Amino acid sequence: MSPLAEPLLRVSAVTKHFQGVEALGAVDLEVAGGSVHGVVGPNGAGKTTLLNVVSGYVPPDEGRVVLGGRDVTRLTPQRRVPLGIVRTFQNIRLFGGLTVLENVLLGQHSRAVTGARSLWPLRTGGDRRLRAEAERSLELFGLTDYRGRRAAELPYGLQKQLEMARALAARPKVLLLDEPASGMTAEDRRSLVPRIRELRDEGLTVVVVEHDMDVISNICDHVTVLNFGRRLTDGPPGQVLASDEVRTAYLGT
């Protein structure tokens, strides 16, 4: 990002404590539109808390979250989705009894309305445009052949892909992925990389928390490293991941 460009997402001086533990201490994050931005760091560094603050699941003690110039710090997660902040979770949260396609259709409607009307496309078969969009999300994540299967029946790696397909269906401006590669087979991990790149090439902005450094270095334009709730450093992945201070933070030596 050029120093003059306004980031699409800006987190400013966010602090969060849990019972005296500082999970985040005055953390800044600037995410350029159309980029993939990685957030890495050792266990307990504050990565998920940062995603929770950006998506609205955890209110910060101090600091601000601004999307496209609009302050969203006080909005609920549900109010942030239609504005374009959509996330996946470390622990999968799907509707196991619904089909793969139905899960994606529900994802589409989380961007507009909540309550009974949000089930409208399931009841009526949905309109063609929404269907086509849902099919596209399924295709992108290799789920087309599974569209009629109950989500709970899918193997774990495909459930993770479905979580991403459903989040994508909400048409995010910023897609927040919490450990998308965790629990996936090596093959699933390999297929994740081109999928996320393709989304970025289409203009989507992605913030990804991930422990797999191969995935991070293959998909990210920029990486922020957290350590003990503080921003240790940030920059291009090659430079950041090779730095001595980052290696020391990970190895604890």
Ligand X SMILES: Nc1ncnc2c1ncn2[C@@H]1O[C@H](COP(=O)(O)OP(=O)(O)OP(=O)(O)O)[C@@H](O)[C@H]1O
Residues that bind ligand X (CB under 6 A): 18-19, 21, 23, 41, 43-49
Give the chain's length: 253
Are 183 and 157 in contact, with CB atoms under 8 Å apart?
A: yes
Minimum gap (Å) between residue 126 Cβ and ligand X: 36
Query: Distance (Å, rounded) from C-alpha 253 to C-alpha 250?
Result: 8
Residue type, 240: V
Are 53 and 60 in contact, with CB atoms under 8 Å apart?
A: yes
| DSSP run (H or E) holding 150 | none
Comparing CB distances to ligand X, the nearer of 100 and 176 is: 176
Minimum gap (Å) between residue 56 Cβ and ligand X: 15
Comparing CB distances to ligand X, the nearer of 23 and 232 is: 23
Comparing CB distances to ligand X, the nearer of 121 and 180 is: 180
Comparing CB distances to ligand X, the nearer of 38 and 126 is: 38
Comparing CB distances to ligand X, the nearer of 133 and 179 is: 179
Burial class (CB in 10 A: 0-12, 13-18, 19+), 100: buried
Minimum gap (Å) between residue 213 Cβ and ligand X: 13
Comparing CB distances to ligand X, the nearer of 39 and 101 is: 39
Minimum gap (Å) between residue 73 Cβ and ligand X: 18
- How far is C-alpha 120 from the chain's CA centre? 26
Minimum gap (Å) between residue 69 Cβ and ligand X: 27
Comparing CB distances to ligand X, the nearer of 73 and 182 is: 182
Residue 175 is encoded by which pair of tokens?
């897609």
Minimum gap (Å) between residue 90 Cβ and ligand X: 7
Query: Distance (Å, rounded) from C-alpha 129 to C-alpha 24?
Result: 42
Minimum gap (Å) between residue 18 Cβ and ligand X: 3
Beta-bridge mates of residue 18: 21
Q: What are phi and psi of 244, to 5 degrees?
A: -60, -40
Rg (CA), the chain: 18
Measured between alpha carbons, how far is residue 158 from residues 69, 80, 154, 180 in Å? 36, 26, 6, 11
Query: Distance (Å, rounded) from C-alpha 250 to C-alpha 210?
Result: 13
Half-sphere exposure of 236 toward its Cβ, with a 13 Å CA cutoff? 3
